[in-house]
């Protein structure tokens, strides 16, 4: 295997220190299991057919807390509209928000736009260095590691929910509240250090983890729920976040009209709430919502109307 150069004894020692019952005698055995399962379960997803770091960055952001089926089609359409980082950087905020609708977490769209502006101003090439990537708005350690692995075939700690599922299922059987601080050194040790073996490079390794983890979540009680990082997602319908998202959608609908006054926004948002069986909003409540969105860069006030 391409990872025999790993320090298997050091990894096994780390397990014994924690008193964890492990079904693998060595790191090599664990990695062999993952690569074999990953090959059997491989998903030929569209963003796996490119090494364009911009396209992979977009897929990584879209896939955060979002099912793969929702991203397929949306990713392709995004790239048709904003095919390069320079094209995204030059886009209007409203156009980017419009394209993002239905993906959830509108802040991510604004972060993409801001980060694209920074990258474009620096020459238009996505960085590969971890520090440079995480310095960009909206890119955390996991997203940076995903870009490095899938675009540049570079090692890193790509710790997301499917990856957690595999490590917890295979190496922490029956244990609850498994902390990321215990997973990170294992994920780092297991990742190939280079791309010298095309059957076992960082890109192939993390695809195997993602596909095996996805399988585990569908066929077992989700192992990642035994992570201390697992948080049950709060209810969206009726939440503050839902009202913000709906208000953004209403603002986008009024773009052709040059925006809308708060009274109109209040009436239309209240209609949505009443249809859902909730109460109407006061103009003061919508004032607070629209002011919050304005401060964050989602819209602006021209003296009469609010416009996305």
Alpha-carbon dihedral 84, 90, 95, 101, rounded to 10 degrees: 50
Give the Cα separation of 149 and 138 in Å (integer).
Answer: 18
Cα–Cα nearest to 212, from 27, 33, 2, 26: 33
Q: How far apart are the first and last CA of the chain?
A: 54
Cα–Cα nearest to 235, from 274, 263, 276, 194: 276
Give the Cα separation of 306 and 26 in Å (integer).
Answer: 61
60 is catalytic: yes
Q: Sign of torsion, CA 100 105 107 111?
A: negative
User: Cα–Cα distances in Å, from 77 out to 59, 114, 143, 263, 284?
Assistant: 12, 20, 21, 34, 38
Catalytic hit among 29, 60, 246, 285: 60
Around Cβ 252, how many Cβ atoms within 10 Å?
A: 18
Give the Cα separation of 15 and 187 in Å (integer).
Answer: 13
Supply the residues annotated as catalytic. Answer: 60
């Amino acid at each position: 295997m391409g990872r025999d150069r790993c320090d298997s004894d050091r990894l096994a020692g780390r397990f014994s220190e924690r008193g964890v019952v492990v079904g693998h005698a060595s790191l090599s055995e664990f990695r062999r299991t993952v690569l074999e399962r990953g090959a059997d379960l491989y998903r030929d997803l569209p963003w796996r057919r490119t090494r364009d770091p911009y396209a992979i960055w977009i897929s990584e952001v879209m896939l955060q807390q979002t099912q793969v089926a929702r991203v397929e089609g949306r990713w392709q359409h995004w790239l048709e509209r904003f095919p390069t980082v320079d094209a995204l950087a030059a886009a209007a905020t409203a156009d980017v928000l419009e394209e993002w609708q239905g993906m959830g977490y509108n802040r991510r769209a604004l972060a993409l736009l801001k980060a694209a502006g920074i990258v474009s101003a620096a020459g238009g090439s996505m960085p590969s260095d971890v520090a440079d990537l995480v310095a960009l708005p909206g890119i955390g350690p996991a997203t940076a590691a995903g870009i490095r692995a899938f675009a540049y075939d570079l090692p890193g700690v790509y710790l997301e929910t499917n990856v957690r599922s595999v490590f917890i299922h295979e190496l922490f059987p029956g244990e609850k509240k498994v902390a990321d601080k215990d997973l990170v050194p294992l994920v780092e040790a297991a990742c190939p250090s280079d791309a010298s073996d095309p059957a076992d490079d960082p890109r192939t390794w993390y695809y195997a983890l993602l596909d095996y983890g996805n399988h585990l979540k569908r066929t077992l009680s989700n192992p990642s729920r035994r992570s201390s990082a697992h948080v049950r997602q709060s209810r969206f319908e009726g939440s503050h976040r839902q009202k913000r998202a709906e208000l953004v959608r209403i603002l986008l609908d009024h773009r052709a009209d040059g925006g809308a006054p708060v009274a109109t926004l209040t009436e239309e948002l209240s209609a949505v709430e009443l249809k859902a069986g909730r109460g109407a909003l006061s103009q003061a409540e919508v004032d607070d919502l629209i002011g919050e969105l304005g401060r964050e860069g989602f819209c602006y006030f021209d003296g009469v109307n609010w416009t996305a």
